[in-house]
Amino acid sequence: MKFFADTANLEHLTELTELGLIDGCTTNPLIMAKEQHYDFEAHLKEVLRLIKGPVSIEVTTNDYDEMIRQSKEFSSWGKNAVVKIPMIKDGLRAVATLTKLGIKTNVTCCMTTKQAVLAAKAGATYMSLFWGRISDLGVNAKQVVDETAEIYARHNIKTEIIVGSIRGQTDVNEAIKRGAHIITIPPNIFMDMIYHPRTESTIKEFLDKWDAFVKSNPMNKPKQEDN
C-alpha cells in the first residue's frame, strides 16, 4: 500500500515528507488554482524537486494535439513527472500515443470498472478511481475498486490503481481494505489520521506517571547538612 498526497502545497508536502508518510503526490487544475501560483511551471518544478516519488500533473485541455504538447512539456520537468490525462475518447488516444513515447500517464476521473479497464488497455501507468464522486452517484465505490483490482490481478495488468476523491478518515479506512495500490489523500486528512483523543490521553498518563515517579525518587531530594 502506497500513500500519495493530493495537494500542490509546498508547506504541506514538506511536512508530510518529513513525517515519512508519502510515496508521491497528485495534482489537478483545481488544486493548482487553490495555490494561487500563477507561475505554473516554476511551482510544479519545486514540487518535483521536493517529492522523490511520482508527481501527477494534469493537462488543462481536452484537445488531443494540445494534450500531447502539454504532456511532452510536463514530462521534461522531471524524471518523476506523470501526466494526468482525462478519461475521454481523445484522452485514451493520447495515452496510447504517450505510452509509445515512454511518457508515464495517469488516467483521471474514472468512475466505473469499464473505464478502468479501458485506461489500462490504452497503456496507462496509473488509473484514478474517484471514491467520493462515485459514491455521490449512489454507486458502491468499494465494489468498483474491488472489481477493478480483481480484473487487473486476473489478467496480470500492470497499471496501478489510485483511489482519489478521499473526503474523510472513513473513506481512507474503507479504501485501505480494498485492492487499490495507492490512495491519494488531502493533507488535512493525514493530520486527522494521526490524532486520536484516547491516544493523546494515554500518552499524557504515561508521562505524568513518569514525572511523578522521578519526583518521588529519594536520590532527587536535597541532602541535609550536618550541624
Other beta carbons less than 10 A from residue 30's beta carbon: 8
Q: Is 84 a catalytic residue?
A: yes
Q: In which region does residue 165 sit, left (phi positive, over 0), alpha (psi from -120 to 50) or beta (all else)?
A: left
**Catalytic pick among 84, 114, 158, 215:** 84
Residues involved in catalysis: 84
